[in-house]
Amino acid sequence: MNHALVLRSLGFLLLLEAAAMTIPLGVSLAYGESEYRALALAALLTGAAGAAMYLGGRTSVEGFGYREGLAVAALGWVLVAAFGALPFYLGGMFASYVDALFESTSGFTTTGATVLVDIEAQSRGLLFWRSFAHWLGGMGILVLTLAITPIAAGSTKVFQAESPGPAPTKLVPRIKDTARILYGVYFVLSLAEVVALSALGMSLFESVTHTFGTMGTGGFSPRAESIGAYDSPAIEMTVVVFMLVAGTNFALYYRFITGDRGAFWEDREFRAFLGIMLVGTALVTLNLRHLYYDSLLEALRYASFQVASILTTTGYTTADFDRWPEFSRAFLLLLMFVGGSAGSTGGSVKVIRIILLVKYAVRELHRKLHPRAVMPLRLGRTTVPESVLSGILAFFVLYMAIFVVSTLLMTLEGLDLLSAAASVAATLGNIGPGLGLVGPAENYAFISAPGKLLLTLNMILGRLEIYPLLTLLIRGFWRE
C-alpha cells in the first residue's frame, strides 16, 4: 500500500470539497443569512485538513494499484461525508454531530433519508449544501476529481471502485476524458431540468435544489412535503421524466449523441428498466384505483411518480405511500432492491444485476435438463464472462447479508420488523423514505445514535457497492 499517495489523493479530495462549500457560502451571502459564518468556517476547516494531508503525502511514480484505488474510494467517501457534516453541525441545524453526519452522508450517497424535523425553518445556504451534496455524490465525487485533476496514474482503479454497476466501461481511451464526458452530460441534463422546473413556476432556488435531488437520484427537498407540496401534475411529470433520465446509464447518452441511434433501444438494461417502470406503474395504478383516488388518471399520476421515485432510488414523494394498500406497499418495498441502471446515478442492486441473476437462475434450470450443455449467458449480442457473473452473485449475497444483519440490529432498536427492514432497504439502496415508522410522512430523527451510525454505514456501503469498504476490513489488504 502506497500510503503517501493515498494521503495526497485524500487531501486533494478534501480541498475540492472545501471549494465546493464556497458555492452554498455564496448562496448564503446572497440571501443575507447569518449561517454564512458556519459555511465559511467549515470550508476553512475542510480546506486546512485537505491541505495538510495533501502536503503530508507524496505523488509517487509507482502510481495506483488496485488496493490504493479501493482505499481512496472507501476512505475518501467517509472523509467527505464527515467534513460535509460540519456546516450542518456548526450552523446549528443539529445539536448532535451524529445527526449532522447522518444528514451529510444521506446527501452525498444520494439517499435522501433525513433526520431534519422542520425543514422549512432552515436557512437556504444549508439547504443548498444539503441538496448540492446529492448532485456531487450522484455522478461521483471521485469521478469529479478525475475529471478536473492532473492525477492520472491508476485512475482507472478509482473509477472502477466508485462507478455503479458490475463492469464500468470507458467511453474514450482516457479515463479523464471519460469522466469529463460523463460530467458534461450530467451538467447539461441538470441545466435542462432547472429550466423546465423554473418555466413551470418553481422558484429558482427550489428548481436548483430539486434538480440536484432528481439528477443525483437523491431525494432531499427544501419543502417538507417534497414534490407533493406543489400539487402540480406538470411539475410531477417533469420530475418523473428527469428521475428516469438520471436512472439511465449515462454512457448511452454519449453513444446516442455521437451517432449511435440505436443506443437506447439496443441496450437490454434500458429496455428492462423501462419495462419495470411501465409494468410497475400499471400494477400500482390498478391497485390504487378504487381505494384512494377518484379517477384512473389520478391513480396513474401518483402511482407513476412513486414507482419512478423508488425504482430510480430518488425518494421524492407526492403521496404518503405508507397508507396505500398492502400490495402497493409490498411492491414498492421490493422495488427498493432493483434500483437504477449501471452507470446511472441511481443506487441499490441495479437493473443489470437483477437481469443477470434471473438469467443465471433460468440457466441452472436448463442445466438440469442438459447437464452437458455449454450455455454462456448473453445480454443482447454480447456474452457475459463467468467472472462477472460470479462477481454479481457474490455481490448479491453480500448485499442481502448486510440487509439481513442490519435489519436484525435495527429491531434491537425497538423498530417493528417492517420498519426495521424498510429503514435498511431504504438506506442501503440509497432511496430515502421507507415504510412504517420511517415512511414518507416520517423521518429518521427518532432513531438512537448507534442506529443512525449503522444506517450511515449502510448508505456508504450501498453507494460504493460494498466491496471498497469491506475489503478494507480484510487483514490482507493492509499487508504488503
CB of 372 to other proteins, least distance (A): 5
Residue 475, Cβ density class (10 Å: 0-12 exposed, 13-18 middle, ≥19 buried): exposed
Asked if 475 is part of the footprint of other proteins (rule: CB under 8 A), the reply reads no
Please list the residues that pair with 67 across neighbouring strands.
Answer: none
473 binds other proteins (CB under 8 A): no
* Member of 372, 475, 476, 479 binding other proteins (CB under 8 A): 372
Of 162-170, 337-345, 376-384, 439-447, which segment contacts other proteins by CB under 8 A? 376-384
Nearest CB to other proteins, comparing residues 32 and 371: 371
- If one asks whether residue 383 binds other proteins (CB under 8 A), the answer comes out as yes
Closest CA to 343 of 207, 201, 230, 181: 181
Instruction: Indicate whether 374 belongs to the interface with other proteins (CB under 8 A).
Output: yes
58 lies in the binding site for other proteins (CB under 8 A): no
**Residue in 37, 58, 367, 378 binding other proteins, rule: CB under 8 A:** 378
* Partners of 383 in the β-ladder: 378
Query: What is the nearest approach in angstroms of other proteins to the Cβ of residue 375?
Result: 6
Choice between 92 and 376, CB closer to other proteins: 376
In terms of Cα–Cα distance, which of 333, 165, 349, 346 is closest to 242?
346
Number of residues counted as binding other proteins (CB under 8 A):
9
Residue 384 gets which letter from DSSP?
E
Position 376 contacts other proteins (CB under 8 A): yes
Backbone angles phi, psi at 445, to 5 degrees: -65, -30
C-alpha–C-alpha distance, residues 363 and 454, integer Å: 37
Q: Which helix (H) or strand (E) holds 382?
A: strand 382-384
Q: Pick the stretch among 27-35, 317-325, 371-379, 456-464 that binds other proteins (CB under 8 A).
A: 371-379
Residues 6+ apart with CB under 8 A from 322: 329, 435, 436, 439, 440, 441, 442
Bridge partners (DSSP) listed for residue 379: 382
Residues 6+ apart with CB under 8 A from 195: none
Of the candidate spans 170-178, 328-336, 374-382, 402-410, the one that interacts with other proteins by CB under 8 A turns out to be: 374-382
Determine, following the binding rule CB under 8 A, whether residue 373 of this chain makes contact with other proteins: yes
Nearer residue to other proteins within complex by CB, 371 or 476: 371
Least Å distance between CB 204 and other proteins?
52
CA 265 and chain centroid, separation: 25
3 or 359: CB nearest other proteins: 359
Judged by CB under 8 A, the chain residues 331 through 370 that form the site for other proteins are: 370
Q: Beta strands 382-384 and 377-379: pairing type? A: antiparallel
Residues that bind other proteins (CB under 8 A): 370-376, 378, 383
